[in-house]
Structure 1
Amino acid sequence: MKKLKLSLTIIGVMLLLFITITMFNTLTLKSRQPQPDPFNGTLDEDHAIETLSQAIQFKTISYQERSKMNMVEFSSFLSFLEKSFPKVYQNLEMEKVNDYALVYRWKGSNQEKSPVGLTSHYDVVPVLEGTEENWEHPPFSGTIADGKIWGRGTLDDKIGVIGILEAAEHLLSEGYQPDRDIYFMFGYDEEIGGDEGASEIVRTLNKRGINFDFVLDEGGAIVENMVPGVDKPVGVVGISEKGSATAELMIEGSGGHSSQPKNRTNIGRIASAISKLEETQFPADLQGPGEDLFEFVAPEMSFGMKYVFANKLMFEPVIERILLQQPASAALIRTTVAPTIFHAGEQYNALPEKAAAIINLRLMPGDSLDKVKQYIEETIDDDQIKVTIEGSEASGVSSVDSWQFKAIQQGARNVYQDAVIAPYLMFAGSDAKHYDSISENTYRFLPVQLTSDDLNRMHGTNEHISIENYLDAIRFYMEIIRESDKQ
């Protein structure tokens, strides 16, 4: 009986200690959001709205088959920019790289400081053939209606190009002189990899020894209902982007008549390999940018969720199981496997002599192409299947404790005062990855508030932006230029 009482006493003490420690961690969790310094200024709203509307009307469409790109439209767009932003072209140095990529240098008064760069792209994806009639307003009309601007590029990413130039034009009209050099860099083939746009800009600047304190590109946005337990809008700033790779699983062997199949056919073996990969999946681990995201949003959560994330070391397995339940949050903590293409067979009664499957993978930082290939081979465990893989590694991970990130966070809070601004891992690709080699930090953030429907429209039908959202983007670009000068 005494031993039982002693055991219960020990358990009680341990439980009390556990509760004390976890409650202390929860109650002392401090917000990582800066106090807003609300934007104070005016814009030439009519000019801004009309300029974006006109910009949308240029069909600067990127195609994987580059010969299909109408470069007359690209040249016309560049002429349009010069006419639309006279103060920018009078006061900033501008050069063309590879004829169509643009670099503007706004010379600062203090050449001891490293420059910062704002980058975007003006090419857009095609409109899927046969869907034109599904648009409420034609995709290249730039229609202004119902408090919105309609057309391809309003979200991705002429809003960035025009928004940045509008911000500069307005600051110049106020007589603003930056302390450090500010560069604006606009690619023209981001939608097909940026190899002749952003990549060539980087090569050009690298030869001149130019290195940035940070570069800010498109990427995350301000969204609602993204993070469980947070009822405020959350603005996510990409501090890294996943690598993108294509793996091919291929097997060759004798075919034969389908009336006498082997127990394991080529199709069956490839299908079995795919099944193993989907059932096993890559290991999940809440670390890096995913962990940073929850460190920034945890203080803003409801009490129950805050309690869990304030004590992540104790509850990490539970957190990971929760995150794995939804594809979007699962992608935040593991390399993803997505079989997309299957090649096998030509005739219904003949066994194919060759079968192959294509898998799209998005690599977590730290998962190299070699590691991913090895994991696939070990998981499928079939030495008759040849595995090849090609693609890009994940980008570097930028700092969340630096003044650079804090300047972006402050600029966003100044415009979107109720939003929680946090780092995250970007799943898609952007031109930002090209700037890693010449920038201390690269960040990815489109300063607009989007719904889930907006995200679906970004490369889809009825792409549009609300006028207020667009004007807020201009305000943000003005703020980030000013905030950068404070450092």
Structure 2
Amino acid sequence: MKKWKLAFLLIAGLIVIFIIVTAFNTLTVKSRQPKPHPTKVSINEKEAVNHLSQAVTYKTVSYQERSKIDFREYDKFIAFLQKSFPTVYKQLDFEKVNDYGLVYKWEGTDSSKHPIGLTSHYDVVPILKGTENNWEQPPFSGTVENGLIWGRGTLDDKIGIVGILQAVEYLLDQGFKPNRDMYFMFGFDEEIGGDEGASKIVSTLKQRGIQFEFVLDEGGAIVENMVPGVKAPVGVVGISEKGSASAKLSIQGSGGHSSQPKDHTNIGRIASAISKLEDTQFKGALRGPGNDLFEFVAPEMNFGMKYVFANKVIFKPLIEKILLQQPASAALIRTTIAPTIFQAGEQYNALPEQASAIINLRLMPGDSLADVERFIEETIDDADIKVTVEGSEASKVSSVNSWQFRTVQQSARNVFNHAVVAPYLMFAGSDARQYDPISKNTYRFLPVQITSKDLNRMHGTNERVSIKNYLNAIKFYAEVIKESNK
């Protein structure tokens, strides 16, 4: 047999083997979605809607300048909770931590089991000055109209507090008793870092030796058209938060008159450094929570997309290249670089003697602050530019192969039967990271089905939630409590 025929047969054979193996991988990939057990929780709609509607009328606004916070509104809100949920306050142990942190303990029948914690926060962000008239309904009105509840906090995050307490009140009325301790913990300064709220709650519980199986906070939600190739809505549960750091680049040197500039001025050198960073970028890699996301959604994709992700070992470079083309998906697989502040110069005809820039970075799990600083210094390659990096690293990554994660996933499926529920990496921050030291796992999930426009409303104009979404949130929290105690 001629050599070219032998080579042809060999190549053809390899192609056939490749097709058989990759097709087999695609056809045998198994769904990681538990079978839903549709919830039977029935909520008093009128009462529940009235509670959330009233909750958002209290102006529990957090300000970076803490002296501006009106704690009288916080006192009124706490009094409102006590009046609205009498059975909770009668049967659960309640305490305040640092005056405004709220902790409720529902004692279980088996003290040997580690407890479960559900957490949320009742502070909200301010209304941006000048945008008040852009609201279709006043931001603290709690207006209920056309199936919607309006107001700051309806999504972020009084829906969490009222939803949890409404679920507990329902279960108490049903005579439900948990077999493990349940804690419900509500912070009051999450929007400005949680240092006085969740942080103090954690330190208090840590002193008592409390260790949670998992803590569930706000975070991901159920969004349509989120993952290419998946028609069903996808509910994403945050298993980690990216770190947040600020890198300052600064340079000092001679200034002088602008008529006789050096070839490379202070402004030019800082600008060049930023340009080098944007051109280089951190390496993207499909790993950790980003990889977990596609492990869970791949079985639910159309055949073409499923084929690619079922054979990730082969197509990984292509997948990473595609993900890096869009900001949202790129942020899922790499540490991001975002120059946000540039400061230099005061006079149009005078060269500034110093220049500086601030770069905001969101760190992937596994990338440390030291790694970031070293990357910046090596990339800009300018010994005269001083680099300082401050901030927080990514939170720990919680398990997706455990009964704890499956509890959250099953609860979501029980309420949102047709949703695909998967882990993901949360880009923003939450109080959940504060609980890492006292919890085996921390998860982040807001149990509502929302659009991209709704996401923009959370800290923006016209924040609102549909009554259907709100009632489903209550049902979800009830399901989590029940599923945790099986």
State whether TM-score is above 0.5. yes
Instruction: Say which SS state the counterpart of residue 185 (structure 1) adopts.
Output: strand
Find the aligned partners of 2:375 and 2:159 in 1 and give their Cα distance: 41
Aligned partner of 2:146 in structure 1 is 146
Partner of 1:315: 315
Letter in 1 for 2:271: A
DSSP 3-state at the match of 1:267: helix
Query: Aligned partners of 2:471 and 2:321: how far apart in 1?
Result: 40
Partner of 1:471: 471
Shift of 1:41: 2.8
Is 1:262 paired with 2:262? Answer: yes
**1:402 counterpart residue number:** 402
Matching residue of 1:380: 380
The correspondence of residues 234-383 of structure 1 with structure 2, limited to 5 A, is: 234-383=234-383
Q: Which residue in the other structure is 1:124 paired with?
A: 124
- 1:252 & 1:97 partners in 2: Cα distance? 47
- Displacement after TM superposition at 1:258 (Å): 0.1
Match of 2:415? 415
Alignment size in residue pairs:
486
| 2: CA distance, partners of 1:467 / 1:277 | 46
* Map of 2:41 onto structure 1: 41
1:331 counterpart SS class: helix
In the alignment, does 2:412 pair up with 1:435?
A: no
Residue type at the aligned position of 2:17: L
- Partner Cα separation in structure 1 for residue 148 and residue 276 of structure 2: 47
Letter in 2 for 1:404: Q
Distance 2:450 2:3 in 1: 61
Distance 2:42 2:212 in 1: 30
Q: 2:17: which partner in 1?
A: 17
Q: Secondary structure at the match of 1:477?
A: helix
Separation of aligned partners in 2, 1:167 and 1:275: 52
Q: Please list, as runs of the form range in 1=range in 2, the aligned pairs for 1:43-62 lying within 5 A after superposition.
A: 43-62=43-62
Q: Is the 8 A contact 2:41 2:478 kept in 1?
A: no
Q: Which amino acid in the other structure matches residue 71 of structure 2?
A: M
For the residue of structure 1 that corresponds to 2:440, the secondary structure is: coil
Q: Distance in 2 between matches of 1:41 and 1:228?
A: 33
Question: Per-residue displacement from partner, 1:313-356 (whole Å, max 9, x unpaired)?
Answer: 10001001111111110000000000000000000000000000
Helix, strand or coil at the partner of 1:440: strand
Query: SS in structure 2 opposite 1:89?
Result: helix
| Bigger shift: residues 38-47 or 278-287 | 38-47
* TM-score computed with the length of structure 1 as normaliser: 0.99
Distance 1:468 1:291 in 2: 32
Q: State the one-letter code of the partner of 1:196.
A: E
Structure 2 distance, partners of 1:359, 1:125, is 24
1:343-392 alpha-carbon deviations (Å, 9 max, x no partner): 00000000000000000000000000000000011011111100001000
Shift of 1:263: 0.3
* Runs ≥4 residues deviating over 3 A: none
Cα deviation 1:182-216 (Å, max 9, x = unaligned): 00000000000000000000000000000000000
Deviation track 1:65-123 (CA, whole Å, cap 9, x = no partner) reads 00000000011110110000000000000100000000100000111110000000000
Q: Distance in 2 between matches of 1:44 and 1:113?
A: 32
AA at the equivalent of 2:484: S
Which AA in structure 1 matches 2:53? S
Quote the residue 1:175 is aligned against.
Answer: 175
Matched residue, 2:67: 67
For the Cα contact (< 8 Å) 2:345–2:355, is it kept in 1? yes
Equivalent-residue separation in structure 2 for 1:325 and 1:146 (angstroms): 40
* Residue type at the aligned position of 2:369: L
* Amino acid in structure 1 at the alignment position of 2:385: I
Amino acid at match of 2:421: I
Query: Counterpart of 1:217 in 2: which secondary structure?
Result: strand
Q: Runs of 5+ in structure 1 lacking a partner?
A: none
Looking at structure 1, the residues matched to 218 and 174 of structure 2 have their Cα atoms a distance apart, in angstroms, of 26
> Structure 2 length normalisation: TM-score?
1.00
**Alignment match, 1:206:** 206
Structure 2: gaps of 5 or more residues: none
The SS at the match of 1:389 is strand
Distance (whole Å) between structure 1 residues aligned to residue 372 and residue 41 of structure 2: 51
SS of match in other structure, 2:236: strand
Deviation at 1:237, TM superposition (A): 0.1
Letter of the 1:58 partner, please give it.
Y
- Quote the offset at 1:253 in angstroms: 0.4
Partner SS, residue 394 of structure 2: coil
> In structure 2, what is the Cα distance between the partners aligned to 1:413 and 1:58?
33
When the two chains are superposed, the root-mean-square deviation of aligned CA atoms in Å is 0.6
Offset at residue 464 of structure 1 (A): 0.2
Provide, for residues 104-154 of structure 1, a one-character-per-residue CA deviation record: whole Å limited to 9, x for no partner.
000001111100000000000000001000000000000001100000000
> Could you tell me which residue of structure 2 aligns to residue 190 of structure 1?
190
Partners of 1:254 and 1:163 in 2: CA distance? 60
Tell me, what secondary structure is at the counterpart of 2:206? helix
- Matched residues, percent identical? 71
Q: 3-state DSSP class of the match of 1:373?
A: helix
